[in-house]
Amino acid sequence: MILPKKCSFSNDSVQCDIPPSYVLSVIENEEYLIGVSCLDHLEPIKSKIRKLQKTKSIPDGRLKIDNVKMVSTNCIKGSPEDYEDVYSQRLREK
Ligand SMILES: [Zn+2]
């Protein structure tokens, strides 16, 4: 599992390019990697995930937040393509 090098936050087509400190995933039977966040954007990304869960754009499970360092020792299910193409993209949509 290769994590993105940049924070998933974007606003008005400006993409945050700070290296991520947190990995956000949703647990609903399986664990789905949703996005990564720098220190500053954890709260905006969390509220975005809640909104996307309400519209069923991403799985409606329990939100899990890990430090990037911890994730390398944990196994997250789902392919990198799922992550890049689906959930990360939805985070960037308005
Ligand atoms: Zn950021």
Stretch 63-82: mean pLDDT: 67
Closest CA to 48 of 61, 34, 68: 34
Q: Is the pLDDT of residue 78 over 70?
A: no
Look at the alpha carbons of 30, 32, 38, 41 in this order and tell me if their dihedral is positive or negative: negative
Average pLDDT, the chain: 83
Q: Provide the whole-model pTM.
A: 0.76
Distance 93 CA to ligand 1 centre (A): 15
Distance 32 CA to ligand 1 centre (A): 20
Distance 16 CA to ligand 1 centre (A): 5
Q: CA angle, corner 47, sides to 31 and 14, nearest 5?
A: 100
Using DSSP's 3-state secondary structure scheme, residue 14 falls into strand
- pLDDT at residue 46, as a whole number: 96
Distance 41 CA to ligand 1 centre (A): 5
Distance 3 CA to ligand 1 centre (A): 15
